[in-house]
Structure 1
Amino acid sequence: MRGPLAVDLRSIEVPLSQLFLDPNNPRFVGSEWVYISDDDAVKSDIQESTSDRLFSEHDVDKLKSIMEYNGYLPIDRVVVRKISEDAYIVLEGNRRICAAKSINGHSDSGDPLPVAIVETFKKIPCLLYEGANEDGDASWIFQGLRHISGISEWPAFNKAKLIVEQMESRELSFTEVGKGFGLSAFGAAQWVRGYYAFQQAKDETEFGRYIDEKIYPFFQELFGRSSIALKEWLRWSEDEKKFQDAANLNEFVSWFYPVERAEDDDGVDREPSKAEVNEAWGRRRISKRDDLRSVTYLIQKSSKNWMEFRSGTDIDKSYNRALLDELEHDRDEEKNAVEKFFSILDEADKQLRDTPLSVLSDDGNKERLNVILASLRQTEEKIRGLLNK
């Protein structure tokens, strides 16, 4: 019976040059996988192919970018197995070590990395596994513990809050804060703007007292490339980091909290209970982020169905009606195009039959007419060939 893993682990620091990627990484194992021995694993060609595979299949580029900005962060220690006096195979943390080994002191732009950043890669804090490695199962055990049970994922709001706090406290640009978290400038901006919009809705709308963090992803979606028209309807101001149309913002939030109004004995609106608010959220008119893309489509393509949605029609029904209207419009356009085509041909035939004598009597005009007629004959042959197929 296997004992507790904790007794087989001890803390060490290992020079980065003595850490070797695991070519038997469970990520790579398929039906045709062949085990690679420790002696072969440390060979340069095997290490290079392992690195190439991690980069091509497991998003190491993003991790490299984060490390170039933050340095090597030993938040989670790499787990290694010693195979010789100066060689250790990585059991857990191959992506991190692969990214670290690819950093050569310069960023992708060619700028030298700060010395303080480079220094963090010299020695890597590790956990040395000294237990049994029967049939190479140690990698499976450690990666299984991390990636099957997994690290608890942060809610979207918490991620956004951290990005905003880092950006504000360190006075970073979207590009700079994005590098620190492996995001593009656009991606970082989407998280940040969504956070500001969420706070505005919470502070300034009549539904603010109902709002909690679960609505944040919908505000983040407002700043995606597929929701531009909806963002413009709300009149986002980049300078003030808020929406300028208070009425539309209230309407937007009301889609998520269709609370039924009730009055107390004095005829004053009664504050709904928490249970009533939760029940209203369950009936929200926008149930998923993609629905906002449907709303954007209505704004851009179908003012009639956009107004019907705003009046209470279900989003799926409004969207489907808009699609049907556009399809019918396209059919009408196609029909009109066909009629226009034949009308032009009829008119051209009439004009040729009534060719003026002034055209036929002028050498320059006759030459132009011959060129056009020759082109028409070639076109006619092509069309007849298609008609006879």
Structure 2
Amino acid sequence: MESNRITRHIDRLILDPNNYRFIDRPDYKFVTDDQVADVRIQQRTLNFILGKNQENIQDLISSFKTNGFLDIDQIQIKAVGDKYLVLEGNRRTATLKYLWEEFKAGNDVGALEESDFKSVKLVEIIDENPIQHLITMGLHHISGKKRWSAVNEAQLVNDLIEKYDKSENEVCESLGISKFKLRRSLRTLSLIRQYKTSDYGDQFQTNKYTIFETIVGNPIMKSWLSWDDSQYEAQNKANLEKLFEWISETEEVEEDQDGIERSIIKEPIITQYRQIKEVAEFINDPSAVKRMEESRSITEGYTYSEAIGENRLKNALQNIKSEVQVAFNFSEYMADKDYEEIENLKLKLDRLIPNSLANVLISSQSANLYFPVVRNHFTSAMIHQYRKLNKLQINNLTKVNIFVGGNNIGKTSILETFYLASQLNNLNAFLELEKFRGKFNDDINPLWIDKNFNKPIEIESTFNGVSNVIYLNSEETGDDIDKAGYVTTISAEANLENTSYASELHLFSNKDAQFKFSKMMMLCPATFTSPYRYNSSLLKKAHAFAVEEKYFDEIIEFIREYLDPSIEKIELVNINKESRFMVTSSLLENAVDITKYGEGLQRIFEITLLMVYSRNGIICIDEIDSAIHKSLLIKFTGFVQRLADKYNVQVFLTTHSKECIDAFVENDYPDDELTAFALELDNNGKLECNFLSGNKLKQLVETINIDIR
């Protein structure tokens, strides 16, 4: 590459607007050769280099004023018309241009003289070789002392390979860098490019480079992203999108108390490259990742991870084993105070051993009725938070409410919210749901409750014309209690008519849970039935109530008329200290257990028995049609509606069956106290609850055979 030494006036030098030091700026735009000398572009380039209040060149200003302009580092240029484009030495040139303006304004420029500006010593490159030019810059700013930011370095390396078809070996040899550094730069730059094309791309800043660099340098993160080193690209786009969200500000729209939507900016979860290593330790633990996302805290995810917890416990136990052996080896030196210390340690170790009696027992304390008379049950509800239900408004509730929708959309969760709402601060209701959710036959494991109570519960509703709110949460108590084996505290608070009712449940791993309340209240009686949940104690209570109130016979009459005319009676009999429902039939010599009959008969018996037991309250029936033949649905749904009217019971039910929905409008019971709700996701993935009145539903079924599922 041929060159000449020349001198030129500072005004004839133009700065390179495509200099690699600019490419990481969000406002950088590539400039074509014919626009390079444009006055506005030159001013913008000068401003880029100078920085605010000349902060980027203060070192050169001080040096030039003290020592003058020393021709130590060459300023390399090439001719562009009657001007000269600076190829190397843009920062020194920009400093001279700034000081030239200061000189003309009569300001102090120290040791610099006018000749330093009018005759700047330069090296003119003849027949410039772009590759050689890049290598020269690389030697100065990648391998040399005047380092660029990492993203600029990576871009130059990438250009040598992509634009000028240089091999990895050639680039490494030319710039004096290792292949490891080269490939890490290429991986990082590629990931940054993918980020820039994402929804968060406008947030990229140079200081994020080390985060991307750490990601592509971490084997666990690369595996999680399904990183392809042949293409330098993440193949798992879903995980990639998650990652980009974690390192970016996100905007969410939330409603305030007045229902006005407000935009909320949430800070990134990951803000430092060191945090990547922490995230990598639990990245393959979905529950820990979910915890991190919900809390927007890496620490929360880290401490929640089973894998990390198991590993730390393993290390701790190994250390205990090792240190105990050391203590044995030197036991001859032990004094009285050492024995006391060992005794204290022994007590702590004893607490690590689970007590087989550590269970959560449902309290025998019954809740008090808030309303002695119920004239109007639930008319509306706002589910602010329950499991995956979030800000779901349900209006137009009537006597019988049918909820339909796809699998796992939240139908059962909606039933559970009404069950909980009816029970105010009665934590027994929460425990009942957790017991059946966790499929516990007897008492509930407190650690299971703690692990699965991930979000607070908040439900607002109107019942009997009165607005009320319940709020349940899991948090550490501030009470002065013995914290040995302490797990967490479940708290419940209900507010209605300017009165608050609160209760708490302290959970322990080594002893039974402790209830704390002054008064447990409920809006009304409530029951919950599902084909997947069998509550024998509840059925026994319901049976005793129905017999005592003389309501049991009409249940048997319905079963006899529409299911099995041979059935004479169903009794609760104590057999070997266990109560069982026994069926007497005219076709059998001896009574047999009700489980010998079909699931349909058992299901109808359970539902109708609980309907009566829920007098002046509500019943939640999950999958009401389960095991019941469609030929019986019209009669059965009519019977359910008749019982609801007779015993003043509000019914919440789910079904997957069109035949069941049709049966409710085709039976001979009036439809004005019937409402159907269709659950579906809108285009943004938000759950909507659309309703049809019973009369409208009947009209649509009869005219167009509508299917609202």
Larger fraction in helix: 1
TM-score by length of 2: 0.24
TM-score by length of 1: 0.40
Higher RCO, 1 vs 2 (CA within 8 Å, ≥6 residues apart): 1
Relative to total residues, which structure has the larger strand share, 1 or 2?
Answer: 2
Name the larger-Rg structure: 2
